[in-house]
Structure 1
């Protein structure tokens, strides 16, 4: 399976790219190495074994996207479903580098209540504690989508919390998860043998 990151670039410290739905991804990631470390790595005091400190929990999902079905919708409808403009700006015109305040739009007149970004992170002041990156894949006309990958210090507070909030989102009918898994990436200098034999 070939994977790509079309339109890959860095803006305001964030790595961005364009997904098969024509939208820019990566705006929600932290912009500094310190923020990335804070969200993605296990810290002392989390109840994890000592060898895990400095490592990260990774989730990978293979997500098939119904691109033909999606492309039948107008750009305005696509932006309503995502909750952002294609260029990353918020529906009210707020720049992509700033956080939308959904509390000022309680009835979803500007950003619909079932929009992807609103469900994923309903309080933009406290984004999900994870770092994500996606790669596009194309295995023919009937199988295109994303290889989604995210890293976090806590699966329950990161990926799993986001997945619970996404239930009932408007974008669900355009996506199908076909594979993936949960992994642990040990910290530098710790081998898999160490991880298996140490407490």
Structure 2
């Protein structure tokens, strides 16, 4: 089956979702293949949720949601059952319902904008935020010790209206309309239980999560994610990404992970006036080849001590951060112009990890010493515990919400 692309993402639909995405930018489509299979379907069921170790697709629609007042734990269980069934169908390229409603006086089961499109390697990934574990649902005793609001970090200039959330959903696909359709319909299914707090569209993956993928470039023009954790490295995934069976890790999260999202605005106009030499000294790699400074091969052994002391690559390297590693699968974004007429564009950083302290350790170092801080601002943030995967017939989050 051939993937059908859209030149731009057409917005509309659910009122709450439309409001959350108002002003979002658009970008031209691009042919990619995330390797889901000949029918472009990524399996929904498994020990881990898809969309983490899955080869990174080209498009993103991310949404953070809050639970409405008066909702009960039973309501949440019902919602997760609906979301599980809908996501399994969506990832197979089907309508969200078992059959489109033909009742003229009732809304259709599915919004319809993905009819005729392939599954486009769609993955849908769900997480729960620290705020879900307050006194509303009797979950306080089940909150993992590692799941709390991220502390204030150096370089933070956060917009709280674009940060945090009780729940999150990450939809990734190789067609922007397929990713948008997924979040739009999940938001519809959640009406009366959850509302969209904020959302972000993304294009052009900024990391490789598989050895089969070439290293992409971010909006600064540099290759990004050369040394990222790769899905094929099972040992690294177990050590750095998946929650296992340590005494401090709750049983309901076993096979899950933690997700940090950061909306990082790039000061594009300032960066574009910097010399090539300054850009390369800032990053610690050659712009064209992606090789570490002084080398010619992108994958040459990186020796942090040989790079400028305030370069981004040196400060982000595991050897500089007590071995801390993250699985990054972020996306570029562009949302038009900000109030002063400058581009509102940059990196929507997404990283999965076994313990959020890995990110906190990293950002404390980067936020205080990274030369790249001259050209970026961290303006949005959130942390979620990503639920384990499910077997056929089971429901996401059932162990937590039982």
**Which TM bucket (shorter chain)?**
0.7 to 0.9
Cross-structure match for 2:226 = 27
Cross-structure match for 2:310 = 114
Give 1:46 deviation, angstroms: 5.1
- C-alpha separation in 2, matches of 1:180 and 1:9: 22
Give 1:47 deviation, angstroms: 1.1
Cross-structure match for 2:202 = 3
Listed as ranges, the gaps of 5+ residues in structure 2 are 1-23, 25-200, 338-342
| Alpha-carbon contact 2:333-2:346 (below 8 Å) kept | yes
- C-alpha separation in 2, matches of 1:46 and 1:115: 37
Give 1:127 deviation, angstroms: 5.2
| Alpha-carbon contact 1:119-1:165 (below 8 Å) kept | yes
Q: Please, what is the CA RMSD of the aligned residues?
A: 2.6
Structure 1 residues 9 and 154, CA gap change in structure 2 (3 angstroms): closer
Paired residue for 1:163, among 345, 360, 363? 363
Residues 147-198 of structure 1, C-alpha deviation per residue, up to 9 Å, x if partnerless?
Answer: 1000000111x2111101112211112111111200111111263342244x
1:90 aligns with 2:292: yes
Structure 1 residues 15 and 43, CA gap change in structure 2 (3 angstroms): farther
- C-alpha separation in 2, matches of 1:125 and 1:88: 22
More divergent stretch after superposition (56-65 vs 139-148): 139-148
Give 1:58 deviation, angstroms: 0.2
Larger radius of gyration: 2
Superposition pairs for residues 1-199 of structure 1, below 5 Å?
1=24, 2-5=201-204, 12-13=211-212, 16-31=215-230, 32-34=232-234, 35-45=236-246, 47-86=248-287, 87-93=289-295, 95-103=297-305, 105=306, 111-121=307-317, 123=319, 128-141=324-337, 142-156=343-357, 158-166=358-366, 167-189=368-390, 191-197=396-402
Listed as ranges, the gaps of 5+ residues in structure 1 are 106-110
Residues 20-43 of structure 1, C-alpha deviation per residue, up to 9 Å, x if partnerless?
Answer: 100111112123241334321111
Cross-structure match for 1:108 = none
Structure 1 residues 8 and 161, CA gap change in structure 2 (3 angstroms): closer
- C-alpha separation in 2, matches of 1:43 and 1:177: 30
- C-alpha separation in 2, matches of 1:37 and 1:144: 33
Residues 38-59 of structure 1, C-alpha deviation per residue, up to 9 Å, x if partnerless?
Answer: 3211111251111111110000
Name the one with the larger strand percent: 1
Give 1:140 deviation, angstroms: 1.8
- Number of aligned residue pairs: give it: 190
Give 1:133 deviation, angstroms: 1.7
| Alpha-carbon contact 2:335-2:345 (below 8 Å) kept | yes
Give 1:6 deviation, angstroms: 6.5
TM-score of the pair, normalised by structure 2: 0.43
SS in 1 for 2:282: helix
| Alpha-carbon contact 2:240-2:325 (below 8 Å) kept | yes
- C-alpha separation in 2, matches of 1:55 and 1:132: 16
The structure 1 segments of at least 4 consecutive aligned residues displaced by more than 6 Å after TM superposition are 6-11
Structure 1 residues 96 and 185, CA gap change in structure 2 (3 angstroms): same
Cross-structure match for 2:5 = none
